[in-house]
Chain A
Amino acid sequence: MTVTIALPPVEEKKLAARAAASGQDITAYVRRLIEKDIEQPSFAELFAPLHQAVDASGLGASEIDSLIQQPIADSRHQRLG
């Protein structure tokens, strides 16, 4: 797959500077950026196990809300007084 991207001069200059600073040509640098991005899980993928655990818990919306608010209150009470 080949992708062509049109960049404004300002972005091109910055990109070239970043690539040079990393010791790579622009193509290799951009490729590394893309690899880094697509290797990382999305929020949906990352949160999925917890989403499923919450769904499976059978807790209602108000119980979930309490489970969220209580630790925030506890954390603030403990850290901030």
Chain B
Amino acid sequence: MDEFGTGGDQFRQPYIQVQSVLYHIEISSVVRSLESLSRAADLSIHKGECKKVSVIYGDASSSPCIDGAELERLRERFPALNLSYHFFGENLGSARGHNRLAEGATADYLLILNPDVVVCPNLFGHMLAPFASPRTGMVEAKQIPIEHPKEYNPLTGETGWATTACALTPRKLFHELGGFDADTFFLYCDDVDYSWRVREAGYKVIFMPAAVAFHDKRLSSQGRWRPTSAERYYSAEAALLMAYKWSRPDLVELLSGYFRNGGEDERRALKNFEERRASGKLPAPRDPAHAIGQFIDGMYALHRYPL
């Protein structure tokens, strides 16, 4: 019998909590996502794949994205989703925001979801399937239209880490691992770090290409992904923190060298990292034998193709 998943009698029809952190998002994007979640929940409950789905939003914006009247309308419109909403009153970042939302959770699984993601109708069934194995600790949906290029085993779906644009993990495991490392990561790489800790604990991270999550990203006219300035800053900062936490001081030095001569975002990220190091606020390094962490060509896994 598995420890967390659907194999246990009590979890044959698990309860799933979908949780998203809002940050100055347009309500139309949230509604689009809820419409898809509502249908997916209806279908999944009807098929007996799960017994209950709830959606919980944590709002890290400076002012609420959803007011009381709007919330009531959404609750009325999507009764299957048991919608709840919390205004944090501060920008907690994604890692701390998700930890906060998971604090009082009683669900069997947590679906970490970007609030603008539109899911396919059979999402829950597909994402629960790999938990039939007791060794599965995290399942990631495939993002469209821009599929993440990181490598996964084309026969088993096993992969190095999972993005949390749309990822399912047992609530118990999440709590046992202490959730996301919010002290270290604000916006980026909290998912890479969590995935690696899932694997460090002996579980597998599975990529499910049949479970589809539409994440509204656009390409430049050259067919390249277009990161914003904030994305460049936080990914640069997270890169330094990941290298440090997962025992790659050589990479920390290498990245520091690049960033010192890089753009404004990179220089700012390096400055912040050095300040944290000076004040002793960096995490304790782990995985000294490099059994889990992978740093390949600036990525956290082998990539199938450049993007």
Q: Do A and B bind each other?
A: no
Interface residues of A (CB under 8 A from B): none
Interface residues of B (CB under 8 A from A): none
